[in-house]
Amino acid sequence: MAHPLRDIVDDLTAGRIRWRAAVARAVRCIPPGKVLGYGHVATLLGNPRAARQVGYALAALGEGGIAADGEPVPWWRVTRSDGTVAMQGDVDRGPTQVAALKHEGVVLKHGKLDMRLFRWDPPAF
């Protein structure tokens, strides 16, 4: 397993894991201080058009971002491709995500973050 992402994609395509489980594992690969767009995650998993389903998978996370496997997921490192944060209108999750990002050094200017600067460059595989 040279690259964790490769294993995830393999498990997904082989039908060993569900889509949302693949999303959870992929998001865990994002290092602190970096972010990825929903579409980026979908692309990594081999389904470029399933951006919306990435959001759906994250929405299915339990309290505290705990996935079905019991492990936490750094869901706050996933933003919209234009650099805005989803659910900003949400009194709970919106501010929480912004605060978590800021804690890792990801600053937002005018409600947006610079994707050119903070987007994670995944290892090729």
Partner DNA sequence: GGCATGACATTGC
Partner DNA sequence: AGCAATGCCATGC
**For residue 26, what are the CA distances in angstroms to 44, 70, 95, 111?**
8, 15, 23, 26
CB of 93 to DNA, least distance (A): 6
* Contacts to DNA from residues 1-60, by CB under 7 A: 18-21, 37-39, 47, 49-60
CB nearer DNA, residue 5 or residue 54: 54
DSSP H or E segment with residue 58: helix 51-59
* Contacts to DNA from residues 72-101, by CB under 7 A: 75-76, 78, 80-82, 86-87, 93, 97
CB of 4 to DNA, least distance (A): 19
CB-hemisphere CA count at 13 Å for 10? 8
